[in-house]
Amino acid sequence: MRHATTTDLDRLEPLLAQLRRMGDLRERTRGNFTRKSRAFLHFHADGDDLFADVRLADEFERHRVTTAAERKQLLNAIKRALERPD
């Protein structure tokens, strides 16, 4: 497993665009997001599969985001997490 490259992030651009519109998140570098100055989300790749490490609670959780359905599930989980007070 390696950190996502520019090419990997290009595959995720529609997801990244949606994340950028979420008010509580700040993109520090492409594909690396913080929430209230705390690391919140970044991406990895393993072969052709893409993964998001996201802090929905206290610890990071790894979510596969290779397919559109997986990306939608991740977005829904992030929206729920952002609705909770930090």
- H, E, C per residue of the chain: CEECCHHHHHHCHHHHHHHHCCCCEEEEECCEEEECCEEEEEEEEECCEEEEEECCCCCCEEEECCCHHHHHHHHHHHHHHHHCCC
pTM of the full structure = 0.92
Give the type of residue at 13: E
For the stretch 17-42, pLDDT in tens is: 999 999 899 999 999 999 998 999 99
- Give the structural domain span for 55: 2-83
CB 6 within 8 A of CB 13: no
Give the number of domains in the chain.
1
Question: Could you tell me if 2 and 44 are in contact, meaning their C-beta atoms sit under 8 angstroms apart?
Answer: yes
For residue 52, pLDDT beyond 70: yes
